[in-house]
Every structure is written in structure tokens, then in C-alpha cells.
Structure 1
């Protein structure tokens, strides 16, 4: 492992490596998007090469699809796979009930579709992603470009009656232009500071015309795998009500770290 890898990256790798070991031969696996998910895809690619692991991956973004193909992982669409055994993805925040905020990378629409078409969703994260209440991370809301400013106004008016601490919204930018998702939509980031009732907020926002999907993942995640910089890993399974500790050895080889 490169000596200059940061403690956060080491924690992400530990979580990703541990979660990749949950994948069994013949599985159809949803492949998440983001920095931690990229570690996981690389770990799976290493297992495909070295162990002959046979899996079918359903990516949640063009970035993940490109990476998986480079690593020799067979890729199909969700329509081709129909149903998945497991989805592994990162999160921007998770609370004690394993509710999530996702969408920092702008792929939460596909991520939610893939996760809900799976028997299980496993989230991989470092300890900094754990919060007592969601909301410190801005909540992404994907919106149709047509009339997006009107949609934004309605969202801001709706937030007045919600249990949140902040109501500022911003259009996500890519340089001087609006950020555009893989599906051709815009993202509004809601700076709420604290979300008192995530379930109510998710339902309410999804009823607004022009809103495609929010980054709130409620009752979707089954397990969170939390990595530490020394290789320690905690696996919390909310369905089974179990918590177990494991340890991941960092590799000497740099194969999976190339080009990161």
C-alpha cells in the first residue's frame, strides 16, 4: 500500500475490502458510485483476476461502469439482471437507524433504483460519515431542468413546514454551468443542518412536481461496514441486530491502487 495514503483513504479501503468479501461466486451485484465505492470495485476486480470470482455487476453511473470494465468485471444493465443479490455503495451520512443521505457524486437516482432492486444493500463508510441525525451534509434533490427555478421556490416554501434547521438551497454547479446528472437532470442541494423527520421530508419532497428523487435513503440499507485507518472494521446488521468486529490486512502490492 502506498505510504502516502491518508488515514481516511485507509479507512475507506478497509471498509471496501471487507464488504467485497461478502460477494459470492455467481452473484449479481449493484456497484455504487463515489470514492469508497471505487475502492470496492477495485477489490472485486482483484478477486475476479486472482480468484476467478464470477460475478455480474450493475453499475450506478458511467464512472463506475468504466472502472468495472477496465478491471474485467462483467457489466449488464438492471433490466438485463432483473434482480440483484446485493448492492454495495457508499454514503455521505448515515444515522443509527441506517437511514442515509447520498448523492454527493450526483448518482443517487440510479443508486436508489439499483439498491431497491436488491435483496440487500450494504453501505461502506469511514467513521466520519456516522451522525446522530441526518442533515449536516447538504441533501441532494434531483430535479427536471424545465422550470427548475419554480421547483426550487416550491421546495423552499415546503421546507418552512418541515422539521429542519436550515432552508437554504443552491443549484449544483460544474464550473460555470449547472451540474448535469447521467439522466440529464439538475441537482438542488438543500442546506438543512438537521433533519428531524427524514421519512416525512422524503415523502413530502417526492410529491413536488419537477422533483425526480431525493438523496434520502429510508429503510433501504441493511448493513453498514465502517472502516478504520488501522484496518479495523465494524459490521452493523440492522436486520439481524448484530454488530461484529473484523480486521483487514493492508496489501503490500500496489495493483489496486494504480491511478487512484
Structure 2
């Protein structure tokens, strides 16, 4: 399997594989959305099938739920779980304080709800997702369909007073139609270039009528597992102030995931 992966996919895989160390038998686990999170779900599915791991997974999107069931993970709702031991998810960007931009896959609302309902949130990412300052990746903002253009105008007007480089926004599309989230909402992608004060921006955006949630995850992430294309992996725990480094060996004949769609 891994012999056929690109370096960036190898990085995602080793990060996901290492993150399984945070999962123990009997846990209720938040399962993220996106390409890196999909690797995690597959790794956990292997542990369920091969090692008898017993966990209950709370997915952050319908596509994650489908993959989790496919690989043998028991899926339950957040209401049934009530509280989670850990959530493991990817990120579009993360900075040195483990502030995040998420929502590139369109699941930011469920992702934020699940992450904040957990004892611990762990981010898995390739090294290319680390930035000095958030904002190069467009910031997703979920808005209700009613009056979305008014919400967009209010957002762009608000950005004039924010510490950002750009102030334009675009409606996310799915072909010729607007992208629709699992909750039936739209997403506006804000092209900011640089976000000087992520905490302030996150608070201000959520005060705008029509805005449901934004993709800035502030003071939510506890640890990040960073994968590299050569198999190295780094675990940074912001609470403990520790950095752990390791190298994961690839098993070239491993066919675990070849029959699963990404």
C-alpha cells in the first residue's frame, strides 16, 4: 500500500497511524472529516477487525459515517455518546499555538461541535499544513441560505476593521450549484491572506446575522501529530509542552486500504 503512495499521502498516513496511540479500548471517539481523517478511520477499522479494539465512533459528516461503518467501526450519534474521550481530525492550517483553520471539506460545524464535546482534541496533518500565521487557506464561514448575500456583505464590511490582508469572499460551489453542508447551509470562503488576530476575528464573525459558525478553531486543539513523507512523525502536546519524534516503518505488502475509496 504505502509503496504506491505519494510523499504527502505517506505523511498523512503516518500521522493518522501514530494518532491511534491516543485511542484506547472502550473509548468514545470523534472521527474527523477529510483525506487525513479518512486514513485514521481506516487505521482504527483495522484495529477493530484485527485486534478486537472496541470503540464507539461519532463521525463529523455523513461521508465519515459511511467510511466508519464500512471498516467495521460502531457509529453512534453525539447525543447518544453525550461526551467523548478524544476527537481526532485533520486541519487545513495550524499555527504554533495550535490554532486551526478547518472546513475545507465543508464539515466545520459538526467538526467544531464534536471537538468541543471531547476531553481532548488531536489534529493529524502533514507538515505542509503548519504556518506561522493563519490565513493563506481561505477561511470557511457557514451561513444559512436565507439572505446569504446580505450576510456576505455584512462579513466583508466587518473585515474592513479586522487585521487581515484581504477582504473578498466567494460562495463555495458544487459544480453549477452552491455547495450544501450536512445541515443544509452554504459556505462562504474568505480570502484573507493573513489573519493577525484569529481570536478576535472568530468572535466577531459569529456575531453577524446569518452566520452559523466559522472555521477558526481557537483553544480547542490539545495536540498535533505531524507526518512527513519519509515516515517521520512528530507529536506536539501544547498542554504538556512536550515534543515527541518517531519514525514509522512502512509495510510495502500491506493491502489494508487498497479496496477502500478515499
* TM-score interval, normalised by the smaller of the two chains: over 0.9
2:90 aligned residue: 90
Is the 1:28–1:57 contact (alpha carbons within 8 Å) kept by the matching residues of 2?
yes
Verify the 8 A CA contact 1:30 1:87 in the aligned structure 2: yes
Cα distance in 2 for residues equivalent to 1:240 and 1:226:
17
- Counterpart in the other structure of 1:148: 148
> Are 2:94 and 2:134, in contact at CA under 8 Å, matched by a contact in 1?
yes
Partner of 1:116: 116
Any conservation in 1 of the 2:2–2:10 contact (CA below 8 Å)? no
Residue deviations 1:183-223 (CA, integer Å, cap 9, x gap): 00000000000000000000000000100000000000000
Structure 2: which 5+ runs fail to align? Answer: none
Give deviations 1:200-256, integer Å, cap 9, x for gaps. Answer: 000000000100000000000000000011111000000000001012122231112
**Structure 2: distance between partners of 1:258 and 1:181:** 27
Please tell me whether the aligned partners of residues 2 and 250 of structure 2 are also in contact (alpha carbons under 8 angstroms).
no
Partner of 2:259: 258
Q: Check if 1:172 corresponds to 2:172.
A: yes
| Residue 39 of structure 1: aligned partner | 39
CA distance in 1, matches of 2:198, 2:147: 26
Q: In the alignment, which residue of structure 2 is the partner of 1:3?
A: 3
CA contact 2:162–2:201 (8 Å) conserved in 1: yes
Residue 72 of structure 1 pairs with residue 34 of structure 2:
no
What stretches of structure 1 of length at least 5 have no aligned partner? Answer: none
Shift of 1:20: 1.4
The Cα of 1:95 is off from its aligned counterpart by 0.3
Equivalent-residue separation in structure 1 for 2:224 and 2:134 (angstroms): 15
CA distance 1:223–1:144, change in 2 (3 Å): same
**Which aligned pairs between 1:123-138 and structure 2 lie closer than 5 A?**
123-138=123-138
Q: Which secondary structure state, in structure 2, belongs to the residue aligned with residue 164 of structure 1?
A: coil
Contact 1:46 1:256 in 2 (8 A): no
C-alpha deviation, 1:3, in angstroms: 3.1
Offset at 1:90?
0.1
Deviation at 1:2, TM superposition (A): 4.7
Partners of 2:207 and 2:65 lie apart in 1 by 31
Aligned partners of 1:205 and 1:211 also within 8 Å:
yes
1:12 aligns to 2:12 (yes or no):
yes
Q: TM-score, normalised by structure 2?
A: 0.98
- What stretches of structure 1 move > 4 A for 4+ residues in a row? none
Alpha-carbon shift at residue 91 of structure 1 (Å): 0.1
* Count of residues in correspondence between the two structures: 260
Structure 2 match to 1:106: 106
Q: Please give the root-mean-square deviation of Cα atoms over the aligned residues, in Å.
A: 0.8
Contact map agreement 1:236 1:242 (CA 8 A) in 2: yes
Quick one: distance in 2 between partners of 1:241 and 1:2?
32
Tell me, in whole angstroms, the C-alpha distance in 2 between the residues paired with 1:189 and 1:253. 38
Aligned counterparts of 2:34 and 2:112: Cα–Cα separation in 1: 14
